Amino acid sequence: MDILSAIISGLVGTIAISVVMAVAPMMGMPKMDIVGLLSTMFGKPNRFLGWMMHMMMGVVFALIYAFLWSVGIGTPNWLFGLIFGAVHWLIVGLIMGMIPLMHAGIKSGDVDPPGLWMTNQGGKMAFLGGLMGHMIFGLIVALVYALI
């Protein structure tokens, strides 16, 4: 496992999914502002903190992908990038349903809970948009990791 390559690929993949989220409303998808959600996690909105948490999570997931590849679960190619991204979304989407338990902004009523797979933010289209974004993340992580 190459830790530096995983970190770099995680940062590049996070930038890619962030671009997808930024343009999603232009493609008829709901607004997917994970940075905004994270920025209110501990109270007052702090977009810088939201961005840092988002980038950190991208790196952590890329490290998990790289670890799995290093122990023989798939390989860093386009197919396993897409598969890992889809599985990643299915797991993270479940966690989204638990965010109200630890999110200060949701507990105070200042932020709406995202719901499972962010479906409170846009129903089926939010689910599909999140799936598409995470598959792009997985694809980019796999291809950049393999390239480095």
Query: pLDDT digits over 5-28, tens only?
Result: 999 999 999 999 999 999 999 988
pLDDT of 83 reads: 98
**How many domains are contained in the chain?**
1
Q: What letter represents residue 90's amino acid?
A: L
Burial of 52 per CB tally in 10 Å (0-12, 13-18, 19+): middle
Angle between helices 78-96 and 47-70 (to 10 degrees): 130
Range of the domain at 103: 3-147
27: its two tokens? 């493609």
pTM beyond 0.85: the answer is: yes
